[in-house]
Chains A and B, each alone.
Chain A
Amino acid sequence: MKTITIEMSQWAAGIAKLKDAYRVWSPVRENDYHVFKELNKDALPDLDFSNTRLSAKQAIYPQTQKMFEYTLDESRPDHHIMHEAPDTTGPQAVIGIRPCDAAAFLLVQKNFNTPQYKDPYWVKAYEKTTLVGLACNNPCSTCFCTSAGGGPFDEKGLDVLLVADKDQYLAKVLTDKGAKLLDAAGFKDEADAAGAQVTIDALREKADAAINSEIATDQLGAQETLTLYDAPFWEEVAFACINCGTCTYLCPTCWCFDIQDEVRGHNGVRMRNWDSCMFPLFTLHGSGHNPRDTKIHRVRQRFMHKLKYFVDKYDDGIQCTGCGRCVRACPVNIDIRNVCNQMNRFGTCPA
């Protein structure tokens, strides 16, 4: 596939043009951090960021999403019958997504798009989304993507990879969807592919080398589930945890949700909201029994899910792309890198 050169001077006009055909999401600055927002008519992406505070998952999987509508008005013939909420939105583009967030969609897809069932909300939104990645020239100190199956220039899950090189972007076209988007934006200046790749490779090597933290995952699959589950370190890992949902809500690969009915007057909606394994209510039985009634249970569930159950279920790596958000935002400094390394080496080197 080809590589397109986008001069900074062309950028604003291209994004404006793109908005005729796509809803455009991109990072914007809000207070003292960046967050993905749907851009209004005149707004431009703010790509001067290391990574967004919340992941890009909300572009495809909103925190609150209407599933069905209904009426309780018994004079209406269809009362108490659920109807799918109409989806009138067209194609959308996510501009400036980091490779870690794009790769996360591929992991989440395993959950929402299965041979037996397809979650229509997630699957349709993913299908109509074009992901334009922005390679990380300057990764953060908390990034560990290179040992989580990705990298700052990783192309997995992306339709276009933008590489910022001085006063231009090199836009590497990775899929037909990506080619179509660049076309719609009017970005057409084809670069010398071989020369562009040399530039990209040089920047990538520099970025890869800048990642100075890593996790070890090679033993996770071989660990015996119950032995790991009963490991003594969980108590220490969980001590500081306050069981808030920050890690799960900021995580690009956390997908758990709750389903709720809400009624105003006669009109009701069934909606879904992000949920979190950190919350006791997540697993509370109607009887009052709770199979994960202590915070050790809940903390262990989060890490076991990402780093053991997922590994065993799909045999395709861990459910983490190394974006480091949970490491940066955890109010009490629970660090998945440490937990993963403890899990990985548990029982392998007798003290």
Chain B
Amino acid sequence: MENPYLPYPVRIDEVITETEDKNLKTFKFVFLNESDETKFAYRAGQFAELSVTGKGEIPIGIASSPTEKGFVKFTVNKVGLVSSELHNMQAGDIMGIRGPLGNSYPWDVLEGKNVVIIGGGFAFTTLRSSIIHMLHPDNRAKFGDIHVFYGARTPGMLLYRDELAAWEQRDDINVHITVDSTDDPNWKYNVGLIPPLAEEKAPPGDADTYAIVCGPPIMIKFTQPVLDNLGYDHDHIIMSLENRMKCGIGMCGRCNIGKDFVCKDGPVFTLAEINTRPKEY
């Protein structure tokens, strides 16, 4: 019997400090057993339990894309016991990864559709995975227009800055980067919050356009009316939820919203689905 709690052993290959406050680091992992990488076949939007031996596990969205081979990447915010310990670890250290877990973004539904990605702060990880996935030469033709709105407090708090700059130069994706404020005279992107920017630049909602929204609660709260105004149906607004998790496989009982578990039935739900469940997230 497979043990779904048993992490695959991995080695930390690289640690990248992403943000100026040093609270966000990206960890690149390599599987110790090559065959485990095959078993860890994932889709953008799924997550995994990062297992820091001796401390515990944390559920983190997968930031690498299924199209990137030979490693997996996670960007981790330093908040609790396990993430703090992880932030102290270095390339070469051994730990574990358990997954992939959760349902992913609905790639079968999104095929042939326009995709509008709206992200804020450090909730951009699985969105990066999705963008890399969609831009891959094998996949780009499967999607219509791709719009990305991404904001952070300051330029130094943006994740994946080099990649953002590169996407900004491409003509097969419309990237709108913004920061709440900056005193950098060379800042060449937007200044201001996500909701007004989206109101101005996002395409109107229709049957062929889906929005994926990930960010802090305050951003989500003010983005939803904007999408309503733009005519997005609630079953065309896709969100990824977070809750405290332990097992990641729908068994330990804590992350439910109504009858559904965020870990197993989610973390991705449409707003229409979320509207019919208790707001316990």
Contact = CB atoms under 8 A, between A and B. Distances in A.
Q: Do chains A and B touch in the complex (CB under 8 A)?
A: yes
B31 to A, nearest CB: 12
Contacts of B58: 286
A157 B110 CA distance: 45
Contacts of B256: 301, 305, 309
A255 interface: yes
**Main SS class of interface, A:** mixed
A268 B57 CA distance: 14
A103 interface: no
A258 B1 contact: no
Interface stretch (A25-33, A50-58, A145-153, A259-267): A259-267
B161 to A, nearest CB: 24
A333 interface: no
A106 B246 CA distance: 23
B96 A81 contact: yes
A126 interface: no
A261 B53 contact: yes
Given A117-B251, A119-B251, A285 B246 contact: no
A261 B259 CA distance: 29
Interface string A189-227: 000000000000000000000000000000000000110
A229 B7 CA distance: 37
B153 to A, nearest CB: 16
A226 B6 CA distance: 36
Interface string B246-261: 1101111111101100
User: Which one of A79, A80, A268 has the greatest number of beta carbons of chain B within 10 Å?
Assistant: A80
Interface residues of B, number: 45
B253 A81 contact: no
A118 B279 CA distance: 29
A259 to B, nearest CB: 5
A258 B56 CA distance: 11
B66 to A, nearest CB: 20
Contacts of A13: none
A277 B94 contact: no
Nearest to A229: B278
Interface residues of A, number: 51
Contacts of A284: 244
Contact of A259 (B6, B57, B259): B57
A304 B258 CA distance: 8
B280 A84 contact: no
A125 to B, nearest CB: 12
A291 interface: yes
Interface of B: 1-7, 9, 32, 51, 53-58, 79-80, 83, 93-96, 242-244, 246-247, 249-256, 258-259, 264, 276-281
Interface of A: 67-68, 70, 72, 79-82, 84, 111-112, 114, 116-120, 123-124, 225-226, 229, 255-261, 263, 268, 270, 275, 277, 282-287, 291-292, 297, 301, 304-305, 308-310, 312-313
Q: What 9 A-B pairs have minimum CB-CB distances, sorted nearest first? A: A256-B253, A309-B259, A286-B80, A286-B79, A80-B94, A80-B53, A291-B280, A117-B249, A313-B259
